[in-house]
Amino acid sequence: MHNDREVTEQRLDRVLDQRIRPAVHARSVPLQVEVWDVSGEPVPVREGLDAPYRPARTGDRWGPAWTTSWFKVSGTVPAEWAGLPVEAVLDLGFATHSAGFSAEGLVYRADGTAIKALNPRNTWVPVTESAVGGEEFTVHIEAAANPVVMHTAPGELSFGPTAVGGRAPWLGDPAADPGEPLYRLRRLDLAVVDRPVYELVQDLEVLGQLMRELSPDSPRRWQILRAVDRALDAVDLQDVSRTAAAAREALAPALAAPANASAHRISAVGHAHIDTAWLWPLRETVRKVARTVSNVTQLMDDHPEFKFVMSQAQQLAWLKEHRPEVYARAQEKAKAGQFLPTGSLWVEPDTNISGGEALVRQFVHGKRFYLEEFGVETEEMWLPDTFGYNAALPQLMKLAGVRWFLTQKISWNTTNKFPHHTFWWEGIDGTRIFSHFPPVDSYNGELSGAEVAHSVRNFQDKGAVNSSLVPFGYGDGGGGPTREMLARAARLTDLEGSARVEIEGPADFFARAEQEYAEAGSAPVWSGELYLEFHRGTLTSQLATKQGNRRSEHLLHEAELWAATAAVRDGHPYPYDALDRLWKTVLLHQFHDILPGTSIAWVHREAEETYAAVATELEDIIGAAQRALAGAGSDTPLVFNAAPHARSGAPAMGAAPRTTATEDTPALPHPDGLVLDNGVVRIVVDTDGLIASAYDITAGREALAPGTRGNLLQLHQDFPNQWDAWDIDAFYRNNVRDLTAAESVTALPGGGVRVVRTFGDSRIEQTLTLPPGTRRLLVDTVVDWHEREKLLKAAFPLDLRAAHSSAEIPFGHVDRPTHTNTSWDAAKFEVCAHRFLHVGEPDWGAALVNDSTYGHDITRDVRPDGGTTTTVRLSLLRAARFPDPDQDQGTHRLRYAFVVGADLHDAVREGYHLNLPERVIPGSGPVEPLIAVDHEGVVVETVKLADDRGGDIVVRLYEAHGVRARATLTPGFALDSVTVTDLLERPLQDPASCTVTEAGELRLSLRPYQILTLRLRRAEEA
C-alpha cells in the first residue's frame, strides 16, 4: 500500500474546518440586534436591562478599550424547526487566538438571571431541545471590551513594549485614550444544532489528534488513518447532515478499541485559572468570575459527570456579594458534588514575597470561607501559576489541615528540569507534604491529543506510579471547560493508543497516587524551597506595591498586638470587623500578579491607593490602642516597641520610658572623607560618598574586602529575552555602570552623612546614619527614578569566605550555597530574602536588612592575595516597560542597613527593628507585655485575640535560628488554660511542645523552625 498519510491528514484538516464544523449550525436565521454603550464603569444588571437601546446590526464595530456594551438580541423560531434543538450563536467578534484574554460577555434572560458566558471559543447559548414554531427568543448580553494587552497566538507571543503595534501596554492605563472600537459583531443568529454533525466533529477531532501523536511505525496510527479515510469518503460535502451518521459508523470501530492495560491514567480536573488581576483590573475579575461560574454550572446541567474546582475564596466571596443568584447555583452544584471548592487559600498568592503571618491568614480566611459557606474542609493547596514556593509552606500547609500540594509553574524552569512529578515536599522544619506537578505542563488544558500524549511522555515517575492530573479549561482570564473538552474526555476514557482519561476531583487523584506509592515503595523527596528558574524580576518590579504590602503586614502586626494588649489591660474595644476586612484587603493584593509587580498600570495605581487607605485606618487603630494603654495624667515619653526583641529600654511587645541615647553618631573629618564612629563600629565615607571602610572595633576586623568600597550603586541594562516585568536574565551582569560620582557628600548637623548622586534623568539622595551602641549603618534612600530598562543594585563586597547565605523566609531562613558548582546552584543568580540576608564565617559575619527589598544576589571570588570576597547586592529598582510602560517611574523612599559583625540573631533582630520602628507617645507609666519569652531565638510573630471573639489571647511564635530551643513563655495575666492549636485556632494534640508550670508559666520545646500557635484563656477575676 502506498504511503498517503500526509494526504489524508491534510484532507481531514480542510474538510473539518471548511465543511463539517460549519454544518453544525448550517440552518440559521439572523437575530434582531440593539445596543446600548455604557460610558464609564460597568453598571448594575438591572440598569443594563432597562437601558435605552438603539438599533444595530452584524458588522457594526463596538467597544473602545475597557468599555461595556449591552446588546439586546431577539428573534422568532421558524415554524419549520418545530421539534428540533435550537441554539443562539452569538459571536461578538472575539480574537480567537487568545481564549482567556479577549472580550467576554454574559448572557441574561429578561428577568436578569444569567444563562452562560460568551468568550472567544464559546459562542453558543441554549434555546430549546425541542423547538416550537413561532416561539419568541430574547436575551441581553453584557459585553466587556477588554483589550488584548498580550498577544498569545502560537509563535506570536508578545511580552514587551512592541506588543500589538506598540499600543498594547498603554491600554493598561485607565487614563489613556480608549481609542477606536476594538471589535466587530460577527454573527448573531438562531440556529438548529445538528447533533450528528456535532458528534462527528468530536469523533474526528479526537481520532485525528491521537493519530498525529502516535509513531508512524505504530499499527494503531494506520488503523485510525484508514478509519478517517473511510469516514471522509462517507461524507457528502454538499449534504453533511444527511451523511454524518454513516461517517460516524466508519469511525466507530476505531473509537471502540480499548486502551492498553498499562495505559497511563489521567485525572481530568475541570478548572478555570482566573487571575484575580493581571492584564485587567480587579473590577473586571469580579465579572470574569460570574461569567465562568455561569458557564460551568450550565455545563453541569447537561453533563452530570462534570466536576469543576474553584481555588480562590476571594472570588467566591465576590460572587456572593455581587451576583448572589450565580453564587446560589455554585452552592447547589457543590451539594451535588460537581462544584468543588479547593485550594484552601483566600487568593492564589505570591509565596516568595508574602510574609509568614500573611500566608497564615491566606489559609485561615480561605479555609474558613469554604467551611462556613460550603461545609467543606479543603485538603489541597492549589497554586498552579505562582512564581516559586518558599520552604516554610509544607509546615504551614500541615498546620492548616492541608494534605496535598499542586503546582505547574516549575515546568517553566529555563535551566534544570525538575526530576519528579509526584513526590514528598519537605520544608525547612522537616514537614513533608504529598505533592504533584501535572506533567501536561499547563494549567489551561484542552484535553487535546497533544496534551494527553505529552503528559504520558513527560511523566517522570514511570514504573513507580502511573497516574497524573490535568487541569482542563480555558483560563488566565477565565472561561473554563467547554462541551467540546467534555466530549474529548468521554472518548478518551478507554481508547487504544491514549492514556485513560477520567473526570474527577483532585482528592480522588491524590488519594490514588498516595496509594500507588504505598504499594510501589516510598515516593521521592525534594527538600527545601521550590525555586522557579524564571521570573526572577518579580522580586523587584513595582516597588511601591511591594512597599505597600510590607508596610501593611507590619501595621497589621502592630494593630493586633496593641489592640489585644489594650483589650486585656483596659477593656478597650477590639476592632474584630475592621481587622478582618483589612486583612482580606491585604491578602487580595498578594495575588501572584499584583504583589510581584506584573500587572497593568491600572492595577498597580489602584493598589497604591488601597495601601494608603489601609495604612491610614491601621494607624488610627494603633494610635487609639496606644493612647488607651499610655493613660492620662503624665507627659513621660513612652517607647512602644512592637518588635519581638527589647530595645531602647522598652521590652519586646511592651512600652517603657527610653533608656538609650537618641542622637545619631556625628560625622567627623577623616583623611579619606568623613568618619562615623560609635565605639562599636567605625564607618569611613570617602569623598565619592562610598563606604571605604567598615571596621568592627570589638572584633578588630575590617568588613570590606581590600580595594573595594561598600554601598556601591550599580546600574545594569535590563532587557530580558521574555516577559519584561517578570524576568531578569543572567546576562544582565555583562553590562554594568558603577555610580561613583557624587554631586555632594556632606556631614549632617544631627549626625550622619548625606550623599547626592545624579545620573541619566535620575537623582539619588542617601542619608547614612550610625545609631549609638549599634552595629547597624542605616542607609535611607530617596530615588527620583526616570530610567528605562535598567536595574539598580547596591553592592557590599565583604572580606569573608561564606559557604552559604542565609536569607529570611516566612518563619525562618533558608541557606543557599554561594558557589555555582552545579547548574541548580548557578540558576539561583537572583534570590529572595525578606527582612535580612546574612553571610559569614563560623565566628564572624555581616547582614543586610531592609524595609522593602526582596531581590538579592550573592557572588564569591578568590583574590590574588588568597582571600575571598563575598559580594552581597540588593536589587533596588527596575524599569521594565511591559505590561506597565511607566513601571516604577517617579520618587521612592526605601531603607536598608549594613550590620557589621552580625550573627544570625543580630540579623533577625535588626530585621524586625527596621520594619517595626519605635513609636513614642506620652504616657503615665510602662505597659507590661501580654507575653514575654526568655529565648532570643524563639520569636513571637503574632499576638491577637481569638477569631471566635471569645476573648482568649492567641500567640503565634517560631524557632528562628534553626536549632532546638527550650524557652519559657510568661503571660502578663493570670492564666486559666492553654491550648496548642492549628492555624484556624482549633485544638491540636501536641503536649510535647508546651507544658504549664504551677506558676502559670509555659515551658516550650521547639524543633528547628517549628511554628507554634497557642490559645491562652485568662483566669476569671475573683
One-letter amino acid of 604: H
Residue identified by cell 510590607 is 550
Q: Are 950 and 871 in contact (CB under 8 A)?
A: no
Number of CB atoms found within 10 A of residue 1007's CB: 16
Q: Are 330 and 294 in contact (CB under 8 A)?
A: no
Whether omega before 258 lies within 30 degrees of 0, making that bond cis, reads: no
3-state secondary structure 587-650: HHCCECCCCCCCCCHHHHHHHHHHHHHHHHHHHHHHHHHHHHHHCCCCCEEEEEECCCCCECCE
What are 956's three cell numbers?
503565634
CA distance 963 to 463: 39
Q: Are 275 and 593 in contact (CB under 8 A)?
A: yes
Burial environment of residue 1008 by CB neighbours within 10 A (0 to 12, 13 to 18, 19 or more):
middle
Residue 193: phi and psi, rounded to 5, are -90, 115
Q: Which residue in 189, 275, 350, 385 is the catalytic one?
A: 385
Residue identified by cell 549594613 is 898
Q: Are 510 and 309 in contact (CB under 8 A)?
A: no
Residue 19 gets which letter from DSSP? I
Measured CA distances, 362 to 346, 577, 955 (Å): 5, 17, 17
Kindly tell me the sign of the dihedral angle through the C-alpha atoms of 815, 818, 824, 827.
positive
User: How many Cα atoms occupy the beta-carbon half-sphere of 264 within 13 Å?
Assistant: 26
Q: Are 585 and 614 in contact (CB under 8 A)?
A: yes
Question: Among 494, 445, 185, 356, which residue's Cα sits nearest to residue 814?
Answer: 356
Q: Are 927 and 656 in contact (CB under 8 A)?
A: yes
Q: Is 644 left (phi over 0), alpha (psi -120 to 50) or beta?
A: alpha
CA distance 908 to 849: 9
One-letter amino acid of 677: D
Burial environment of residue 887 by CB neighbours within 10 A (0 to 12, 13 to 18, 19 or more):
buried
One-letter amino acid of 540: T
Measured CA distances, 1 to 8, 10, 812 (Å): 14, 19, 68
What are 873's three cell numbers?
547586592
What are 780's three cell numbers?
535611607
Tell me, yes or no, if 194 is annotated catalytic.
no
Beta carbons within 8 Å of 544's beta carbon, 6+ residues apart:
604, 607, 608, 888, 892
Q: Are 714 and 721 in contact (CB under 8 A)?
A: no
CA distance 723 to 742: 34
Q: Are 386 and 407 in contact (CB under 8 A)?
A: yes
Q: Are 93 and 105 in contact (CB under 8 A)?
A: no
Question: Residue 968's beta-bridge partner residues?
Answer: 1003
CA distance 774 to 771: 6
CA distance 370 to 686: 59
Q: What does the longest C-alpha to C-alpha distance in the chain come to?
A: 104
Task: Determine the distance from the C-alpha atom of residue 629 to the mean position of all C-alpha atoms in its chain, rounded to a whole number.
Answer: 38
Beta carbons within 8 Å of 623's beta carbon, 6+ residues apart:
none
CA distance 461 to 840: 39
Q: Which residues are catalytic?
A: 385
